[in-house]
Amino acid sequence: MDLPKFEPETRHLKSLLDDRDQLLKGRIPTGIAFLDDCLGGIYPRDLYLIGAGTGVGKTEAAFSVVEAAGRAGKRTYLFALEAEVGELSARLYFRELARQCPDAHLDYGAWWRGKYQDLDAKFGKGIREKLASDLATVRVLYKKKGDFTPRNLHQQLEAISSKAEVVVLDHIHVIDRDDTDQLRVESRAIRMLRDLALDAQIPVVVVSHVRKALPGSPRAIPSIDDLHGCSNLSKVATQVVMFARDWDGDRPEPHLSPTFIKVAKDRKGRATGLIARTFYNLRSATYQEAYELGKLRGQKCEPGKPRGQKFEPLPPELLPSWASHAISHRPLEDEEVWI
């Protein structure tokens, strides 16, 4: 292997702005308002890691990226290693049906079991035509049977490296072992994906599990240290975003699930420690556009019980300028300082 060489930094100055503007052209939105406000979307050369526990919405977030990339006409390759065959189409079809029938109180599981066939008959043809256009540039690899090892991943990445404009892997922990342990499998996989992002100058999105919180833990949202598997996942990623249910949050409606979202790492400097509190709509399988922006603070508890965390929204006058979809309800108290 050739030894990397030092080079004069001044050679990059002439093309600096042109290179930046070229990257901006390759931007894709995530479809989640807080993340698009905070990070501006996902850019070429990003290795964008989505972390969450089971049932929190990791796959839905990944599918939102695929949907947005497809609508933008990007040649998008999805490794759907845990999904059922055709699940992307099914979930996006249901999302669109729910958007068109907001008063029908739809439920994905009930739809899949054939409950709303009258709505399918009325809206199905138009939705399928719309999705055929949105997904025209999307290719999906479903893991139908057998193992999918790092060697298989390497072969697939080699095959698509000259064609892909966006790559999404859902998710890294279901890559199978070959002749090594699982941590090394994940380490090899994440480095392959990072190399692809850099060499092909494309955005790469990777979904990861997080460890379960220990009994009595006050943790309201996972940290980077809670990512399941090898530490290289967070070290190699350029952005890490975390999702968690707000189990103590009020639900204005039964179908609105309070959810925390946090940017835990960002190479461009937007990992501010602020947390968004929004709602995941169980009917439409989408995240609400509006969000509260705030911090988690320790709260008083009874003797002998673990110290918990409580979400406190930022006062309106302290909302950052980029938070265009943020709402806040609490005025700044006397002598209160937010860091």
DSSP letter for each residue of 161-212: TTT-SEEEEE-GGGSPPSSS-HHHHHHHHHHHHHHHHHHTT--EEEEEEBPP
Domain architecture of the chain: domains with CATH: 27-288 (3.40.50.300)
Q: How far is CA 116 from the centre of its chain?
A: 29
Helix (H) or strand (E) holding 299: strand 291-299
Per-residue pLDDT of the chain (339 residues; tens, 9 = 90+): 678 899 999 999 989 999 999 999 999 999 999 999 999 999 999 999 999 888 788 889 999 999 999 999 999 999 999 899 999 999 999 999 999 998 888 988 899 999 999 999 999 999 999 999 999 999 999 988 778 888 899 999 999 999 999 999 998 888 887 767 777 888 888 899 999 999 999 999 999 988 776 555 667 888 888 887 667 788 999 999 999 999 888 888 888 999 999 999 999 988 888 999 999 988 888 899 999 999 988 755 555 444 467 899 999 989 999 999 998 654 444 443 333
Residue 71: the pLDDT is 95
How far is 63 from 87, CA to CA, in rounded Å? Answer: 10
How far is 58 from 208, CA to CA, in rounded Å? Answer: 8
Output the six-digit token pair for 318: 């302290």
Using the structure block, give the residue that is written with the tokens 């380490």: 187
pTM value > 0.85: yes
Would you tell me how many other CB atoms lie within 10 Å of the CB of residue 189? 24
Residue 147's Cβ-side half-sphere holds a number of Cα atoms within 13 Å equal to: 9
Helix (H) or strand (E) holding 338: none
Residue 272: the pLDDT is 83
Residue 214: the pLDDT is 59
Q: How far is CA 204 from the centre of its chain?
A: 11
Residue 299: the pLDDT is 58
Residue 264: the pLDDT is 94
Residue 196: the pLDDT is 95
